[in-house]
Copies of this chain bind each other. A is one copy, B any other.
Amino acid sequence: MSMEMLLAAKNARRSVQALGPQGSSRVLLKLASALRSNADTILAANAVDLERMSPDDPRYDRLKLTASRLDQIASDVENVASLPSPLGEELSRCVRPNGMVIRKVSVPFGVIGVIYEARPNVTSDVFSLCLRSGNVAVLKGGSDALCSNEAIASVIRSTLESEGVDPAACTLLPASHEASDALLGAVGIVDLIIPRGSSRLINYVRDNARVPVIETGAGICHTYFDKDGDLQKGALVVNNAKTRRVSVCNALDCLVIHSSRLGDLPAICSELSGSKVHIYADPRAYAALDGHYPQDLLERAGEDAFGTEFLDYKMSIKTVDTLQQALEHIERYSSKHSECIICENPETVRVFQETVDASCVYANVSTAFTDGGQFGFGAEIGISTQKLHARGPMALRELTTYKYLINGEGQIRRP
């Protein structure tokens, strides 16, 4: 059954691409209003999902929809409707010596598959970004959110039908392993798969997909406080990167500190104790903090304190004697997501930004800004941690590819 659904999704491409920028805006505005007017049905479906999950489950809050959350979901769809279309942009143009004109233009991928877990808002987010970028969306949500996803997808499909668009443009696959495997193997049908969720999900997708994948997610993020770091800026940035929202991928995991600044470590960490951040410190950092940080929140770092994405009020500290050692520590443990240096020396900043291999390399700015909205993209479908095609925050432009259009008057190639 999944294969038939995938083929139907592929066939819906023309219908989506025929919409054009104005058409996709119109459909999305209509969808936002349909989501609001169908709020009761969607919330009832969500209640069924919630009943099957314990309220103590950490996923319960993410699964839960309320009238105000649903209103936000509709507003997000309206926002995507208002974003500039990424399609039909002439990326380059040249006239070759033989007179033929080569244009490189942005076009949709075709069919984009997204595999995600228990967040029903992803269903409408992904669909709206796909439609606005001219793509068919094939969605594979988690079984926890089955009823919620079906209710939202049903509103989407009714809206599409009422606007004369093939409803397979929003294809929600069954929440089964068989459906996942069909999607991962759909070479020639699906053009791109984006997994969103836990490392376990992402690893499964990468290891089993035959369709091209963009990996998102895991962020093991460092901030390096250099010998030339400004204390006040550093304390602000470290506290913000660690405590603004601990459950997100751009949150700080490891503070790397130059040994000459260990005396400032208590001041750098002072705000963290207010949020009850548990610190795993290496020997020199431990000695520097001992007596200056709440004893019950301070622990000696084991080796597993480094290279861990905590997603919690926890942070490790590594002491280094040189910039080079800092770069090596980051190189070893970074997931290439977001890395930062606190430093007033422009040459050190230059070397750090040039050397660190990550999507986003910050100087004196909190890593909390790694986000499509904060980057001015107007939305976000995920944060890529690989290097192929898109890196860092991805929005509409990253959901397009290009093709070359070559026009001439009978040019042939010799010899």
Task: Write the residues of chain A forming the contact surface with B, with a CB cutoff of 8 angstroms.
Answer: 14, 94, 96, 100, 102, 109-110, 187, 191-192, 206-207, 210, 212-214, 230, 232-233, 236-237, 239-240, 244, 349, 353, 355, 357-366, 368-369, 374-376, 386-389, 391-392, 401-415
Contact = CB atoms under 8 A, between A and B. Distances in A.
A86 B369 CA distance: 28
B409 A366 contact: no
A406 B361 contact: yes
Contacts of A102: 375-376
B365 A230 contact: no
A388 B206 contact: no
Contact of A412 (B94, B237, B389): B237
B191 A387 contact: yes
B100 A365 contact: yes
Contacts of A240: 412-413
A236 B411 CA distance: 8
Given A368-B413, A369-B413, A410-B237, A210 B212 contact: no
Nearest to A390: B389
Given A191-B387, A192-B387, A365-B410, A359 B212 contact: no
9 contacts: A96-B374, A212-B386, A357-B403, A361-B403, A365-B411, A366-B412, A366-B413, A391-B403, A392-B403
Contact of A407 (B110, B349, B406): B349
Contact of A210 (B192, B207, B353, B388): B207
A358 B110 CA distance: 11
A207 B407 CA distance: 36
Integer count of this chain's copies in the complex: 2
A244 B128 CA distance: 46
Nearest to A102: B375
Contacts of A409: 233, 364
Contacts of A359: 403-404
Contacts of A411: 237, 364-366, 369
A391 B387 contact: no
Nearest to A415: B244
Contacts of A360: 403-404, 406
A118 to B, nearest CB: 24
Contact of A413 (B110, B374, B414): B374
B403 A364 contact: no
A364 B409 CA distance: 5
A408 B364 CA distance: 5
Contacts of A388: 191-192, 212, 214, 388-389, 401
B236 A412 contact: yes
A309 to B, nearest CB: 15
A357 B110 contact: yes
Counting from the closest, the 7 A-B pairs by CB-CB distance are: A233-B410, A240-B412, A365-B408, A389-B389, A368-B413, A387-B401, A212-B388
Contact of A361 (B232, B355, B361, B404): B404
A328 to B, nearest CB: 10
Nearest to A207: B210
Nearest to A206: B210
B407 A364 contact: yes
A176 to B, nearest CB: 23
Contact of A392 (B213, B404, B408, B410): B404
Contacts of A233: 409-410
Nearest to A215: B212
